Amino acid sequence: MNIAIVTGSSGLVGGESVEFFTKKFDLVVGIDNNLRSYFFGADGSTLWNKNRLEEKYTNFKSYDTDIRDYVGLEKIFKEFGSDIKLIIHAAAQPSHDWAAKEPLTDFGVNATGTLNMLELTRLNCADAVFIFTSTNKVYGDTPNNLPLVELEKRWEIAEDHAFFAHGIDETMSIDQTKHSVFGASKVAADIMVQEYGKYFGIKTGVFRGGCLTGPNHSGAQLHGFLAYLMKCAISGTHYTIFGYEGKQVRDNIHSSDLVNMFWHYYQNPRMGEVYNAGGGRFANCSMLEAIEWCEKISGKKMSYNYSETNRIGDHIWYISNVNKFKLHYPTWNWQYNLEATLLEMHDKMNERMIVKDC
C-alpha cells in the first residue's frame, strides 16, 4: 500500500495536498486538531475544510492528533509503518504576530512538533520522502536592508540589484537578523529538517514559502492576508493596513502550484534540500494593489484605514526566486497568476459565505 501522511490536513496547504494526493496514493492520512481556531478564533477554524474533504474522498482518513503529542503520533506511524511513502508536514502556528503572545506554544508546535514528525519518520519509514513547509521569515528582516525604491503604489528593489530580475534566492543569510518569535521557531524546524537529510540520509525537502494562498484558506486578520482581504471585500468588513504606506510587496503562490512542486520533488527527491517557493515575478502585489484587485473583482469599494505602525519584522519587499527549483525540476511551472488566483478565491469564498460554513 502507498500511504501519504499530511499534517495540517484541514488547512490551506494540507487540504490542497489531500485533494492532490488522494488521486495518487491508496490512502492519505490527515493529522489536524483545528488548533488554527485557538490561534485566530472562529475566522481561523478549519473544521469546515476537514468535513468537506472527508465527504469528498473515501481514501482520506483524518486524525485529531496534536503534533506535539509524540505518543499519539507514534500510534499513527506504527499503524501504517513502511507503507508510508510521503510525509507533507504543513501543520504549524503560522503567524509572527501571534507567536509573541505564547512563545512556548509557538515553539512547541513549530519546532518540537516538526522534530516529532522527523524522528517518527526516521524510526518507522526511513525511506519516505519528507516535505516541510518552511517560510521566508527564516531570512528575518534582512530583506528590509536591500536597496528599495518607493514607487507610486509599491516598494521595489533597485533595478541594478542582483535580486531585481527574479527575486530573493536561497543564498540570503538566515543568521544575525530579527526573525520574530515565529521566524525563530521555523528556523529551528527548517534546520532540523535539513539535518535529517544531511545527517541521517532521509529524503527531506524544505520549501520556504512566500505568501501561500488559495480559496480554501481560512483567512484571519493575523494570517492569510489575501484570503482575509477578499473575505473583507465580499462581506464589507473593515480592513486595517499596517505600515509601509501600504506599499509592502508580497509574492503569492496558489496552493495548487505549491503542491505540484511537492509532487515533482516526491518523484525525484534530494536529501536536505532547500527551495524558495512563491509566486516570484510571475505573481506578486503590494497591499494597495491587492485592495485594487479585490475591489475590481468583487465589484465593491473596500472600507479600510491605515495604521502607521508596521508589524514587527514585517517584510517591505519580498519576492521569491524559484529558479533553483526550476533548475532541479524543469517541467514545473506556475499555473495561477494573481488574477486567476483572486478570481477563483472570490467565486469559491462567495459561495461558501452564502451557505455560511466559512
DSSP code at position 110: I
Determine the residue type at 193. Answer: V
Closest CA to 131 of 227, 275, 289: 275
Q: Does 269 bind ligand NAD (CB under 6 A)?
A: no
Task: Build a one-symbol-per-residue string for 50-79: x at contacts with ligand NAD by CB under 6 A, - elsewhere.
Answer: ----------------xxx-----------
| Strand 249-254 with 317-318, pairing | parallel
Cell (9 digits) for 264:
515533482
Distance between CA atoms of residues 174 and 195, nearest Å? 15
End-to-end CA distance of the chain: 35
Instruction: Give the phi and the psi of residue 130 in degrees, each rounded to 5.
Output: -115, 115
Piece of 88-96, 145-153, 154-162, 336-344 that binds ligand NAD (CB under 6 A): 88-96
Among the listed ranges 96-104, 153-161, 208-216, 236-244, the one in contact with ligand NAD (CB under 6 A) is 208-216
Nearest to 110 by CA among 201, 209, 188: 188
Rounded-to-integer distance, Cα 298 and Cα 177, Å? 39
Supply the minimum distance, in Å, between the C-beta of residue 159 and ligand NAD: 27
3-state secondary structure of 3: strand
Please work out the total of residues on this chain that contact ligand NAD, with binding judged by CB under 6 A. 30
Listed residue (320, 172, 165) closest to 249, CA to CA: 320
Residue 192 binding ligand NAD, by CB under 6 A: no
The residues in 134-173 that bind ligand NAD, with binding defined as CB under 6 A, are 135
Residue nearest ligand NAD by beta-carbon distance: 11
- Applying CB under 6 A, does 105 fall inside the site for ligand NAD? no
Asked if residue 211 binds ligand NAD (CB under 6 A), the reply is: yes
Is residue 341 close enough to count as binding ligand NAD by CB under 6 A? no
Among 5, 86, 88, 91, binds ligand NAD (CB under 6 A): 91
Question: Which span sits near ligand NAD by CB under 6 A: 9-17, 261-269, 307-315, 346-354?
Answer: 9-17
30 near ligand NAD (CB under 6 A): no
| Alpha carbon distance 317, 247 (integer Å) | 9
**Is residue 86 involved in binding ligand NAD (CB under 6 A)?**
no
CB 121 within 8 A of CB 193: no
Q: Which residues bind ligand NAD (CB under 6 A)?
A: 8, 10-14, 31-36, 46, 66-68, 90-92, 94, 109, 113, 133, 135, 209, 211-212, 217-218, 224
